Structure 1
Amino acid sequence: MTCLYKGQLSSYLQGTLGDDQSVFMVDHIERCSYCQRQLSHYLGEIENPDNWEIVGPSTQRLVQQVINRVAPYPIHVMQRSKTNIQQKPNRWITRSITIMKKTAIAVAGIAAITYFGTLTSPTFATYVSSLVSSKPQQQQQVGSLFQKYADSEYLYRGVKQGYIQKVDLQAKDKGIIVDVKEIMTDTKDIRIILGITDTQGKQIENMFKFFPTNQDLARQVYEIKITDHEGNVYQGYDMEGYNDLHWLGDNGSLVMLNEPLTTYFTDTSEIPDKLNVQLTIKQIDKEKGNWTVNIPVDISKAKKETTIIPINKQYQSPRGTVYDLKQVMVTPGQTEIVLETTRSAGDTEELAFEIVDDKDAVLAAWSELILDQEDEDAQIPTMHNILHEQFLQTGNKKGIYFITFKNLPTDKDLTFKLSKTYTYEPVKAEMKINIEELKNKPMTSVQNGNSLTFSNFTVQELIDGSRGKELYASLDLDVTLAPNVMDLRGWAATDEQSNGYRLISFSGNRTRDENGTIKMSGKLHFKLARPPKELNIVYKSQVKERKNVDWKIAIPLKQ
């Protein structure tokens, strides 16, 4: 298969490709760094993502590459252990590209926001006080690139209040000019918008070709340093090679880079009032050079606008997992929950919580449980009003979640409510399917109280330029889950000769009926060496839901 073009990406995102074609496309994307950049860039061109649905089976490798771009987050409320700071990769696999057809756009938006940054938007509304000018704030925001290319509700407060700094600083080397146009910052991060002009004085387009998303390669192209007013360099705690960039403007003519201050300072009070941001571009296309711009930042006003509310309330589940709500941090446009979990030996319990107002209306929600398709209307675990989430493993069976919500009201008291918990139960379930008999009638099997109906096994031969001809298959699956069961996990398949198949994914819909029973309807996707005569399908665990968890914590935001 040759690399993808824009029309294919558009069809993929709009769900007009068949399931097998989507599987094939994702399989190509996960191995092709160019198409990964194309996909990320194309997502960045979508002016109104609320009108889109994203389709496609999950790919662990691609998702993990995107996940690694999420910034490591310092622990505000406990001693940092550098050797223990790491991502929790398995937790994120199905939360990014695994957005299936008819998935609520709220969930699709969350996935895209979480793993591709915010596409055309900085991750939150932030601000910076005037650095080199005493012009009124409203004059500073006129014609802002952040406003033009990154206009979203996440930036609404920052843009409205004029917290955007025009910089217009340049660095020239070998006839090429790097033009840093604007920055914005708060106590969490600094974002920079820049453009590049070639030796002919022409603005360079499609700059995603020159700024790799791979962490190791990115640091060969550009570097951001944070220094004090005397030039002393602050050492960050970024152990994952953080690389967050987005292409903006017509034809990708602008780049937005992000450097999280939270990887340098463990607490807002440690951030000095004045900083210097040193941006160095080391290579543009194949041309190596030195393009360095120093940007002074006065962050004193941003520090005053940051409020930390200590909570330190704990809940212990019947299985022994301890949840500790550490603190709430409020900055312009965002509210962050810091939640520590300490699990008992062998425990795989996960939680879901909501943020509600005084009338018990749900303003935000978050769940550890990841489903391939979530339906808010059906009361299936959902992510609502989420801007960003981060996990740090801080010890054996212990970790901290940093969950950032967008535009929660700060003029009223809210309540953190632990609504449900989920446990993974190992089970034995094996179903033997005769492919020839399946052509005449569906096959139904009841396993552990779950009723599974299989039908319509299809095989399609597709051509991948790098691998030649390959077979992809799908099997229709309709499931009625047993009471309190949320999901089936650990799918695997073999043929009549015990040859294992790569079971790529389950894609489909979930609904919850009036009795609370969840039904799944969709397809299992396989990658085959040869068409089977018989399929042996297994799943190894099921997810159980425990409702009516009684743990509520007041969040006193009202001043």
Structure 2
Amino acid sequence: MMKKVTIAAVGLAVTLFLGTYVAPTFANDVNSFFNSTENIDSGMKKAYNEGFVKPLDLKVTDQGITIEVKEVLADTMRIVIICQAKDQEGNPIDLDPSYLQFIIKDGMGNPSIDPIMGGWRTSKRGHQLMVELALTKSNTVEKKLPDKVNVELNWKQINETSGDWMLNIPIDMAKAKAVTKTVEINKQYTTPQGLMIDLKRIELAPSLMLLSLETKSTPALYQQKEESLISKGLTVENKPGEPSLPFMLAHEIQEYKLAYELLDQQGNIVAAWDEISDRNLSKQKNTINEMSGGYKWLLHAFAPLTEKPEQLMFKLRAIYSKELADFNVKLKLDDLNKVQIDAKNKGSKFTFSNFSLKEDEKVTDIDGHPIMGKGGIVHIQAELAEHIVGLDVWQAKDENGKEYKVRLEKQSTVGDDGKVSFQGVLVIEQLLEQPKELTLSYHISEIQHRDVSWEESIDLNPLTSTVIVNDRTEGKAAKELKPELQSTKSQPESQQAAQQVPQMTVNDDEAIKKNIEATLRLKYMSIKDLKKNYNIDFIVHNAVKNKYGVYKMAFYDLKSQRELYVIDFVDLEYLEQFGTNTGSGSWQIARLSDGLYVSIDSLKKNGIIQ
């Protein structure tokens, strides 16, 4: 069947490149995907209301199936495309994103941003498909977004029908770039714990506000952690056949997280970031988590400001660290249903009660907590000591020495005294028969450090332009020309001198790489371990590469000798990560020093492991 491609713009003349801005009257369309709250964040909604959503009627037909691109939202932070498929009679067809491939090219046709490396997601509303690409990691100081880009969409299969559906969407970014404001900050602070925070810049775009930060450990803190690992017998290497607990704890205690606020000139909190592990306790406000990310270099995305203040105040509220804990309690299970057991640990108080066995895999509501999978259930109430906001890495051991993984499902609150309390259940995974005794323990306490003191005024209307060289600002910025814009809580000169950021050495760089590896190893499984423990290998399905270096790999069940999932793949260098939505789900893969690793979450969500 002949394939045809047509394009028409609603209410606008068609030019070579489709501009990203239309008058808000054109955007006021009740049928627009963006004229809703479903699957739409507040940043998309604001960009829509301000005219940065363009209605389109771009179509391609093959094998009797037509794919239509209905709308596109584009600014310097993201591109969002709304599309749908119909049969010859105009009836809607489900459009599976698993078969979608796309690439972004510059105006000359050269690949500019390759979404096969991650940063994109899809969602559906009815039969309409939303494809969203985050530009936050690609549009950096070192690599600026071109003024003109082409988004190339391609399907080779729709449900059971093979064909070739190719669409090119030209986008002019010039106006979006013109209204995007970048303000260099480049201010540093070192916490009393030894965490160095570099507040780099803030970017204001139609669909979101992006704050860039960088965190490092001081040499003293790094040395302290190294000595702690040695003294506690912990290891940063997870060797086959050795217990995983020392490895897991080694990387838990090296992790630091942030909590801060952005305030307007009236002192109102317009945005807040809070990385506390317990989401029930988080004070985040106006965050857009899908656009955020980073490990050493942090990109925190927020909804765009509804007002346009001249200044914002950055206020560091707390940092979080994780420390080793030493707690265990022995429970006689026959007695636990008759009398509760109380325990204490360094100011924290616990009450354990009511043991039961969950004997099926389906989700069951237990005291308001949806619990999935088989295992033992122990009810728990706790009041944590001051500054402790969470407990992690729970374990159980029966009277025969057999160990079990334990997860805590809870609901937390904060009292008037600032202390955290929770009630919930401990799920002892894969405990199929009731033992006589269980010894419960946890190994990590999460600490909230509120002894920080840093406020930084951010002038959103700097008097002078700045030149960026190697991520540093040359020349005087507006803040240096206007002393009254400095923080109202300035630090004593001696404290400021003590907090100057030390120069990082080659050894520090190697340490950072080690930490990145260690963090990934906590959430990723090596292909070697996948093969050893689950008889599943990762093999070449089709070695033919396209012009972007993409080829086909497959997860292969060695026992049944069949392919489970076929996915797109690219060759990775050391510490490169890869994300794809091909196959039957989302996959995240990384190359570490000893080979390829795949996200455990990806393996679970796609049914490869439990």
**CA contact 2:349–2:383 (8 Å) conserved in 1:** yes
Equivalent in the alignment of 2:456 = 553
CA apart distance, 1:193 = 0.7
**CA contact 1:129–1:298 (8 Å) conserved in 2:** no
List alignment gaps of at least 5 residues for structure 1.
1-127, 213-220, 375-380, 394-398
Distance 1:520 1:550 in 2: 29
SS of the residue 1:156 aligns to: helix
Distance 2:61 2:298 in 1: 42
CA apart distance, 1:197 = 1.1
- Name the structure where strand makes up a greater proportion of residues: 2
TM-score by length of 2: 0.61
Is 1:246–2:123 an aligned residue pair? yes
List alignment gaps of at least 5 residues for structure 2.
1-14, 226-253, 364-371, 463-610
Distance 1:169 1:156 in 2: 22
**CA contact 1:373–1:508 (8 Å) conserved in 2:** no
- Going from structure 1 to structure 2, the CA distance change for 1:364 and 1:459 (only over 3 Å counts) comes to same
Is 1:292–2:166 an aligned residue pair? yes
Equivalent in the alignment of 2:434 = 531
Distance 1:262 1:135 in 2: 23
CA apart distance, 1:287 = 1.9
CA apart distance, 1:246 = 0.7
Is 1:513–2:415 an aligned residue pair? yes
**CA contact 1:358–1:413 (8 Å) conserved in 2:** yes
Equivalent in the alignment of 1:362 = 269
Equivalent in the alignment of 1:350 = 257
**CA contact 1:129–1:163 (8 Å) conserved in 2:** no
Deviation digits for residues 151-193 of structure 1, max 9, x if unmatched? 6533333222222211211111111111111111001221111
CA apart distance, 1:226 = 1.8
- Aligned runs of 1:396-407 on 2, under 5 Å? 399-407=296-304
Distance 1:335 1:129 in 2: 30
Q: Which AA in structure 1 matches 2:206?
A: P
Equivalent in the alignment of 1:215 = none
- Aligned runs of 1:33-432 on 2, under 5 Å? 131=18, 136-149=23-36, 153-205=42-94, 207=95, 210-212=96-98, 221-236=99-114, 240-248=117-125, 252-262=126-136, 264-267=138-141, 270-343=144-217, 344-345=221-222, 346=225, 347-371=254-278, 373-374=280-281, 381-388=282-289, 390-393=292-295, 399-408=296-305, 409-432=307-330
**CA contact 1:165–1:183 (8 Å) conserved in 2:** yes
CA apart distance, 1:274 = 2.0
Distance 1:446 1:132 in 2: 64
Structure number with greater Rg is: 2
**CA contact 1:141–1:163 (8 Å) conserved in 2:** no
Distance 1:134 1:458 in 2: 60
Deviation digits for residues 126-162 of structure 1, max 9, x if unmatched? xx99828998551354345233345653333322222
Distance 1:268 1:190 in 2: 20
- Going from structure 1 to structure 2, the CA distance change for 1:204 and 1:278 (only over 3 Å counts) comes to same
- Going from structure 1 to structure 2, the CA distance change for 1:368 and 1:140 (only over 3 Å counts) comes to closer
**CA contact 1:268–1:303 (8 Å) conserved in 2:** no
**CA contact 1:392–1:400 (8 Å) conserved in 2:** yes
Deviation digits for residues 333-354 of structure 1, max 9, x if unmatched? 4211111011242343332111
Q: Which AA in structure 1 matches 2:178?
A: K
- Going from structure 1 to structure 2, the CA distance change for 1:195 and 1:392 (only over 3 Å counts) comes to same
Count of residue pairs the alignment pairs up: 402
Equivalent in the alignment of 2:447 = 544
CA apart distance, 1:253 = 0.7
Deviation digits for residues 430-453 of structure 1, max 9, x if unmatched? 100001111211000112221111
Equivalent in the alignment of 1:445 = 343
CA apart distance, 1:302 = 0.3
Distance 2:165 2:414 in 1: 57
CA apart distance, 1:263 = 5.1
SS of the residue 1:391 aligns to: coil
Q: Which AA in structure 1 matches 2:274?
A: S
